[in-house]
Amino acid sequence: MPEDLVSYNPLRVDGSAPRATGVSTSDSFQMNEQHTMLDYKRENAMSTATEVQPRTFSWLTDGFRDLLSFQKTPSNDGDKAVSVSNATQPILETGPTAALLQMKKKKNTGAPISQKEWARLVQFVQMGAEFSPNRHISRESVVGILQAFRAAYKLRKPGGDEGKAAYYLNKFNTMGQDEDTIEAAVETHLAHAEWPVGNDARPLVVFLRDDHVTDEAALTAALLPYWDTLWRVAARGHFLVHNRPIRDDERKLHAYEPAAATFTRESFVFSVIRCEDHDLTALLTFPGSTAAMYPLAGYPDICEFRVMLAAIGEAPVGTHWKGDRFTAYTVGRGLDAPASGLHVQAKGGVTFCFTFDQWNILRALFAEAWENPFLQSSWAVLTEEYGEL
């Protein structure tokens, strides 16, 4: 992994985090700028017309941005087997979304899945595991990817390229262990308390693309137990690169399905609506004389706001959480005083000031909302389409 994409802890005390001299009272909220909802559909339409990806990836180095350009010329770099530009070449021929949907259909119907198709899937797994500066995939997902490699490697055809075996061993010995076999290195890797983020998918990518197995049917049987993990991270990679979910546009919304729900707790209101494209959009309404309202436009916004609620709470002044869409940091009335609340900065610089009591009300409100069957079923479908965001 490039040096500038080091492991990031989103919850830390950061001396450079913005500070404020006070927070709002329980009946008022502050908005610094007017907010405009992101029209990501319009961005997608523009990208289709111009053949330019709407996501700028401003956090990437020039080298990684070149990889995301899907250049046709293969890289001569030693790690070219897992570069994004090379990884996406076979997928672009039929379209990445269609290829992934076809593979999912095969999985659901029990149809045979080839090694080449598994290789396509894990190419997106690599993208999902490596390309996000603020939020990495969960330890559960990292473990699932490693276990999938271990299961597939047992089917490696004898007499294969020993250089590949050395490559795998080197990747799994990066944390200082000195194991002699792939199996032992993977086990040590799985047991390590601090696991490296991102590059754990690379051995699986290289194996499924360049190595050979004794039986493709046995390969599918070995990898299917890890399907949920692989698909979740692959869908994340698909969204990060293409800025769209893995969605079957022909899927119809049944008329009898509920389309909206509203939840209220101590004058805080969370309203959720299902849109025509099956996605969700939400509106947060805050109490007070200004009665501020803030839209959460789609699954990515709602998902990150929900993660932020769980990730940061009462903590020392300057504790900082940063995502792709929101930033939160604790504040006090003085630099040496205990934290008395936190600020949340959203897109466009809009900033809300909360006391910890208000923040805990929002936490309870979201917890109540996710007990609702309508939201649970909708969220399960969207999580499968967008992946682990």
pLDDT in tens, the chain (389 residues): 333 333 333 343 344 444 333 333 334 333 333 333 333 333 333 333 334 344 444 444 454 444 444 333 333 444 444 444 444 444 444 588 999 999 999 999 999 999 999 999 999 999 999 887 677 888 889 889 999 999 999 999 887 777 788 888 888 776 656 778 888 888 887 777 565 555 678 899 999 999 989 899 999 999 999 999 999 999 999 999 999 999 987 765 555 566 899 999 999 999 999 987 789 999 999 988 778 999 999 999 999 999 999 999 888 888 899 998 999 999 887 666 667 899 999 988 899 999 999 999 999 999 999 999 999 999 999 999 999 98
Same domain membership, residue 122 and residue 87: yes
Range(s) of the domain holding residue 281: 12-41+252-386
**120 located within any domain:** yes
Same domain membership, residue 63 and residue 18: no
**47 located within any domain:** no
How far is it, in rounded angstroms, from Cα 112 to Cα 96?
19
Same domain membership, residue 199 and residue 73: yes
- Into how many domains does the chain fold? 2
**219 located within any domain:** yes
CA–chain centroid gap for 318, Å, is 25
Same domain membership, residue 59 and residue 193: yes
Maximum distance among all Cα pairs of the chain, rounded to whole angstroms: 74
Same domain membership, residue 381 and residue 324: yes
How far is it, in rounded angstroms, from Cα 80 to Cα 75?
6
CA–chain centroid gap for 3, Å, is 21
Last residue of a domain, one of 215, 242, 269: 242
Model pTM above 0.85: no
Same domain membership, residue 179 and residue 93: yes
**Which residues does 207 contact at the CB level (< 8 Å), separation at least 6?**
149, 152, 153, 156, 164, 168
**186 located within any domain:** yes
Same domain membership, residue 152 and residue 97: yes
**Which residues does 58 contact at the CB level (< 8 Å), separation at least 6?**
none
**290 located within any domain:** yes
Closest C-alpha among 71, 142, 124, 136 to residue 244: 124
Beta pairing class for 319-322 and 293-296: unpaired
Closest C-alpha among 246, 233, 212, 238 to residue 145: 233
Same domain membership, residue 35 and residue 102: no
Same domain membership, residue 202 and residue 59: yes
Last residue of a domain, one of 220, 242, 264: 242
Last residue of a domain, one of 195, 221, 242: 242
* Tokens of residue 311, six digits: 């990730």
Same domain membership, residue 335 and residue 308: yes
